[in-house]
Structures are given as structure tokens and as C-alpha cells.
Structure 1
């Protein structure tokens, strides 16, 4: 793979394109091609930079554009993608259903399979991905199937699918290659294979320099290796380009581990304030971070349970079931915690952190044998399962 110019150069190019199409929504008569190009570039910028506020602005722009266009089918697909990134899953379905040709397209089918995964319908999700791949191979469909297979315990098969996805790319698609390398690296990290993870992250950085997603995973690796100062510096560099409360929380937790109580309190308070302000705006994409914050940082079980139920109502899957179980455990509601962790374990997902927390729940509820078995299984999957990790 050839070396690309990288993240900063691509962002500059996107900004230039946005400037060229500025005012598209106000032009008379409406120019469908110019409007669509403008909206797409706004989406590309917000998505590439990981900016939820930008995605919310894109959502408003799409709604305005749809009202102007006679055939806005492509914008409904884009609307579905935006809603998915913001965890507005009911709106994803509504956007796809608005245009039958979008709903039945391969991209529409992939998004529908993504919805199946988010709602815990794992067999339906796999069927959807495979069905699209049987018609046409694409790196996006292969990556989705890889993610699902990885969650179901087939890490080797998942890595092979990610590698197949890389083979689908052209020499110009360095960002996609970097993204895939990050996924392969995280598969290794989740099994305690830090050296292998680092190799994948290095490949990603070489292919597409300056990408915050790569830096975010490298910082997680540094923090997990007790290199707290280096991890904090890297997270702070990423967060300086836009408010990312989940990174601010990570900085706070790392400062705590480094014995820096003052900075730790500052960063954790910043994170919590941003999470709560988002929720007050009726945004839902930080609900799972609030659960994580109140269980592992503030240790407030009742608040954790409140936000875990809210997230579960949006999408019930192994992750939201396990998060609710852990919140209930922190609130000392052990029988309820066992009920929900049993549901998460019954999903068929193979996850070291799920098993590790299930072991804590079972042991606290008095089932020490099952607790010990689950702990052994977790450590077999990832010998470093209890260490710091970022909630991606």
C-alpha cells in the first residue's frame, strides 16, 4: 500500500469542497447536484472527525434539503447513516422505509443488518451481511461480517475477513485501510496481544498519518501498559481538536492511576458535564458513557441503573444487557444483576470483559463456583482483562 497524504490533508480538501458549495441550500432555483454534494461533504467532515455536534447539524441540513428536492433518495440513505451514528435507531428505519429503492438497495440492506445487530438479532444480522456479499464483494460488508464474527468468538476468522476487506481496496483508499488495520489491532488488544495490536496501529498510521482514531487506540494501549503520562498527552492532543467527553473521562481515569487527583477531578467533571448537557438536549448517544461513568468513575449505582435502562430501551443487545447487569451489581441489586448478565451470556457473544464482570456478579450473589469458572474463562480469552480500557 502506498503512503497517503493523511487525515489533515483530507480534512483540508473537504473544507475546500464545502466552501465551493456554500449557499447551496439557499440557491434559487434549487440545484439538486450541488445540494447533495454539499450535504455529503458536511457529513463526511463530521463523520471523519468523530463530531456528534457536527452530525446533528448535518441531520438538520438533510431535512432542509429533502424539502427542496423532488427525488431525495440518496439523502434518505445519508439520513439513515447519520441517525445510526447518533444512536437514533428508530429514525434509521424510518429513513430507509421512506424510499423503497433505498430500503432494498445493498447499502440499505447492510444498514438494516446493522440494526439487527444493535437490537440483538445476531443471526439476522449475519444473514443480511452474507446475502449482500453473495451478490457483490465489498470491503464494507466484509468488515461488518468480520466485526460480528469477532464478537461471536471467531477472532481468527474475523481477522481473515478484515484482511479480505483490505484486498478489496484501491491504492487511493488509505483511510479505509487504516480503519481496517485499527479493527485488526483492537481484536488483538481485546485478547491481551499488545505487540500484535501495536503492529497493526503502526501500519494504520503509516498508511494514513494523523488519524485521531489511530492515536486514540494507541493511547489506550499506552494506558493499559501503565504509560500514563504518554497516554494522557496523546488523549489531550486528540481532545484539543473538539470536545470528546469520553476521552476527557479517560484522561481523568489515567490521572487517577498516576496519583494526580487534582487533574483527575477536573477532567472527570468536564466529561460528566458534557454527557449530561447532551442528554438534556434530548441526545442519546452518550447514554452508554453515562452508565460507564456512574459505575466505574462515580460509583453511583442508582444513577448507573437509570441510564442503563434508558440505553436498553433504545437497543437491547449483549452490551446493553451487560451494562445494565453491571449497574445493578453496583447498586447491590444482585438477583436482578444475575438475571441481566444471564441474558447477555445467552447471546452467544464471546467477550472477556463480559465473562469477567459476570464472574464478579455471580460470586457476589453467592454462586462462587460459577463465578470462578467465568473468571477463568475471561482470563483465558484475555489474560489482561481487568486493565484500563476506553469505552469506544
Structure 2
């Protein structure tokens, strides 16, 4: 994660977001292939359309599914929707969406109406070389500064600046010791996909063109254009398993020739080459006379108790606490949806009747114990005292 800009605003309104984005536009302009990923807040969505109308606007899949499952539940939606989000292939995306539409047209109507931004990798552009589906990286940053979030504004900004300064220096120190031309994470990925390349068959058309097949499926690979018909190579910037099958068949092939420059050690060193200058404490800062007194902003506290954590869990992430059914006594579901077998009423009545008889017999056969005279004397002695 490389922080570009941050700000403190009174609330997450359209005016605040547009103010922040306009300052960001003055700082970085409109880079080619700019991608903005959001959680589809109404204020933020309108601000992005006003300031960055040409940017590729993506939607966080976790927020989308969290909103979607409030109306539509079931394995068809859970696996079908996430499968459509993860696939790079347009044809595979169409098949999954068609299955959802055939079983529940209302679900597709809801998606087309409420979630109009990009949320599937099959729709992502090929310039940014980023295939993130969620905003987890932003949540990691929020967790990273969680200890400073309750400080006054000046102390908060200064603490964030110091953390970023230290982090940049750590990155420079780590990158300085790296060997090779490709970042280690990409090398690990290439080693991982290279383990199963023997299951793919390569049929060459030329030195740079080939068909790669497996289990009756076929993909077209073009090494010169760094393109595969699965689209994973174009979106990620790193060879997919189909392209890796062709590259591995070439003698003395260099993987760095097929990896995008974003993932080279040289580009990473350039990214962190400019450090953040250190600063003295506040008592040594220069003082200016503004001619007026700066008052704190008027804050409006939202309704309800503040949440300790705003992180939205993944669809397959288990919960820490599970509800107990009052019908069968098992965990993980409610009484109105319980389908487990329970003892019949007759069995319960007979069992309860037998318990009453058993208790009656026990009371009849076991006489009450009489108190020992010494015990009675001790009790009377305590009462006299």
C-alpha cells in the first residue's frame, strides 16, 4: 500500500468528498488508467462522477454482497455472484449471471439498478494492472492508524505523517537488499503456478503464438502482445498459467520479459526514492498571526452507538458467536428455520411422568434425616449468644 493523500473531514457527505477529490485532482491530475474503488456511498459516488468522470469506477465486492444478501440468500447467489466477480473471462461471467437470472430475475434487476459500477474482473481495464475486488487495503490502513484516530486533529495528522515516514524508510531498506529484477511476491506466484504446468498441452502456431489446452478447454496465448484469451494476464500484468505453459517451453526464457514493469524491483525503488522529511515537535513550530481566531468545526454526532469495527466480513468467513436454536438445542440457526428432528410430545410427557414417579418413589423410600442433638444444641447456643 502506497498512501497518496489523506484528509480529515467533518462527515462523509458529498461536499466533503468533492472537496477532497478536487484537491487530489490538483495534486495528481488525471493519470491514464486511473482506478477508484469505493463502497458506493451516495455522496462519494456523486463526487467521483463530478471530479473524475473518466476514471474507472469500481465497487467493493464485499460491500456489494453484504447489501445483496439482505434481500437474496442461498448458495446459488453466494457462489454464483462471487464466481462472476472473480472470473476474468467474459463468457464465464455471462454464464454465471444467466444462471442467476434464470432462477431469480428479481436478483438481476436489483443488481442492475443498485450496483451499476464495475465489480467483476471480467469488466476491469488492462492499464492499472490491479485486480483487487475489495477495499481491504483501505481497512488495513484504518486498522494501522486505529490508535491515533481519537487524537486531536493536529496530533492525528502528525502521527499519520510519522507512521508513513517510518514505513517508507522501511520499504527502502527492504528493497535495497532484494536480488533480481522481479519483486519476490511475483516470483512466488510464478513458482506456484509452475507446479502444475505438466497438465497443460502447448500447440505452437509460431514462436510467440500458441494454443494451450487442458481437459477439453483451449486458450489462445500471444507472447508478443502479452495477451491470453482468459484475460488474467492483461488485467494482472503477470503471466497466467496458460502463458506460463508456453513460456516454460521456451529455452532460456526470462520471466522478467513477460512481467509488467510495475512489478520490477527498479520501479519499486523509484516509488520509495523520495522520503518524508522529519519535523520537530509542536512547541518548535513557527507561529503565524492569521488576524482571526480559528474555531473548531461544528460536529454532528451520528445516531446510535459508534461501532468498534466497521470491517465487513467475507461471505465465507465464520462468525465468532453462533446462535442456539430453542427448538432442537443446536447452534447455527433459528427456531423458525429448524429442520432437525426433536422428541415428540408423547415421549416428552411419558418421560416427564416417569421422572415424577421416580422422584415420588425416591421420596417415599428415603425417610427424612433427623438433626443430631449436638447440632440442635449448637444452633440454640448461637441463638442465645
Q: Fold conserved (TM > 0.5)?
A: no
TM-score normalised by the chain length of structure 2: 0.24
TM-score normalised by the chain length of structure 1: 0.23
Greater share of helix residues, 1 or 2?
1
Greater share of strand residues, 1 or 2?
2
